[in-house]
Every structure is written in C-alpha cells, then in structure tokens.
Amino acid sequence: MIATASLLMVASGAAHAVVNAVVKSGGDKMSSRALVDGSSALLVLPLAFLVPFPATALSFLIGSFVVHTVYLICLVKAFEGADMSAVYPIMRGSAPVIAATAAVLWLRDPISVPVALGAVLVSLGTLAVAWWNRPSLRALGWALATGFCVAAYTVIDAKGVRAAPSALSYMVWVFILLGFGIGAMFALWRGPRFLAEVREQWKPGLFAGAMSLVTYGLALYAYRLGDVPRLAALRETSILFGVLIAWLFLKERIGKARLIGAGLIAAGAAVLLGMA
C-alpha cells in the first residue's frame, strides 16, 4: 500500500505540472484558472449521482473550499508576476515541510528520520531551482503565500478523505464545490475577459480540467493509503516536470542552479521512494 501510494503521488506531481503550465500559458491567468476548474466540475458532475455525499467530511469540504480560494488567488498573482520556473518551485517547495509538521501535530501521522530528510531535500531542491532567477519581492510574497495554502489544504483534504465514505465520494464533491464555486467566482470577476479566454482556450482548458481530476484524484486516494509527510513531499517532484515543461514548451531559460535543485529533488524523492 505504501509503494502504491508513493507511485500514485509521483504521477500526481507530473499531472500537476501540466495543469499549471496550461494556466501559465493562458492569456488572462484568472480566467484560465476559472476555465480549468469549471471544466473539472463539469467532467466529474455525473459521478455525483453515483457516490454518496460525504456528510461526515462536510467541515473539511468547507475548509478546503476556503483555503483553495485563497490558494488560487495567490497562485494567479504569482504567475502574473514572474516566470513559472521562478515562482512554481517556491510555491511548491515551501509546502512539504509545513505540511509534514502539521500532519504530525494534527493528524498524528508518523515521521521517521529518512522521511524528514527526504522532505527537506525536496524543499531545498525546489527552492534552489528558483534561487538564481529570483522573482520580484511581490511575486515572491504571492508564491510563499501559495506554499502555505498548499500545506493547509493538503492536511485538510488528507483528513477529509479519511473521514469520507470513500476517496471517490470526497474527490467528486470537492471538485464540484471548487469548480462551480471558485470557477464561477473567477469567471464573474473577469467578465468579458473570461468569455474571450473560453473562446480562445477552451480545448487546453478542458484538457487541463481533466488533468486536474487526475492529479488531485490520485493525491486524495494516496492520502487514504499512506502518511502525509512522505506523500506531500513526493508530490512536489512535480517541479522536475514543471521545469522541463517550462524549458521545452514555455521557452524559459534553465540554468545550472535549477539543474542542481532538480538533482536535490530527485535525491529526496529517491529517499522517500526507497522507504516505500
């Protein structure tokens, strides 16, 4: 079960990088995010009639909605202010240690020295990726705020998916709440810009919406199988895929520092996978 959870989380990280690359490449970032989340909700809606409503996890669904709202605003602002390869490592790299600490204190998840070492290596690596191309202080602030939100919703959703009747029921309803709630909020916020984004980017948006279901669906299922400190760190291997996508498709410069950081991430992931 631990090995399965670990592999699911690495796959989740790869899909997560793809989703964020689509958002970053969009014209209006907030409209792109609304399109992605709205597409996710529409795709998963039919399943709402097949799975029970997770009433036992209602408080966690509400908490997740609130934190995800703040998270997405911070993420959009960070992407508006700097390259993906500069802010993505910071927002993801700051999360594992925070999430691991919260999981140990709140969820009472176990943590060993190797797991702690792996989480620290992943965090140091992701931060090193952005070090020699630091974003502006404003973008840095948004990226760090995003990282804290990532840690918060990771722990909330890990608790929620364990309290729900099944991983699928929690996944379906969290996507419906986030997609229709936050997606509609952002769409109304942007108004005509959102309509223009839909006309121009509906195909990538629909694809990213489907990938969003994959990335967080895998993560939620993994949280039912294993402990959060290990899995939260493993998900941040998404930065390896994120840097590669930023280089190949977004045509961003990737220097030695980012390669060194990628090596640290790989080392941390190897430690964590070796524990599986």
pTM of the model: 0.76
| From 13-17, 95-99, 214-218, the region with the lowest mean pLDDT | 95-99
**Which tokens go with 76?**
């959009």
Q: Which residues of 96-130 are buried (b: 16+ CB within 10 A; e: fewer)?
A: bbbbbbbbbeebebebeeebbebbbbbbbbbbbbb
| From 120-124, 129-133, 234-238, 250-254, the region with the lowest mean pLDDT | 129-133
Phi, psi of 237 (to 5 degrees): -65, -5
Please answer whether residues 237 and 263 qualify as being in contact, where contact means their C-beta atoms are separated by less than 8 angstroms: no
What angle, rounded to 10 degrees, do the helices at 192-225 and 167-176 form? 160
Residue 208 is which amino acid?
A
- SS3 (DSSP) at 237: coil
Q: Which of 68, 85, 5 is nearest to 33 (CA)?
A: 68
Mean pLDDT of 246-257: 70
**In the Cβ-directed half-sphere of 274, how many Cα atoms lie within 13 Å?**
12
User: Strand runs (DSSP E) across the chain, as ranges?
Assistant: none
**How many residues does this entry show for the chain?**
276
Q: Which tens digit of pLDDT belongs to each residue from 200-224? A: 888 888 898 899 898 888 888 888 8
Q: What percent of the chain has pLDDT over 70?
A: 87
Give the pLDDT band (50/70/90) at residue 99: confident
CA torsion through residues 86, 87, 93, 97, sign: positive
Mean pLDDT of 241-258: 71
Q: Cα 162 from chain centroid?
A: 19
Distance from the first to the final alpha carbon of the chain = 9
* pLDDT confidence of residue 241: 76
- SS3 (DSSP) at 109: coil
- SS3 (DSSP) at 118: helix
User: pLDDT at residue 164 above 90?
Assistant: yes
Please answer whether residues 268 and 121 qualify as being in contact, where contact means their C-beta atoms are separated by less than 8 angstroms: yes
Please answer whether residues 81 and 136 qualify as being in contact, where contact means their C-beta atoms are separated by less than 8 angstroms: yes
Q: Which of 87, 134, 137, 109 is nearest to 232 (CA)?
A: 109
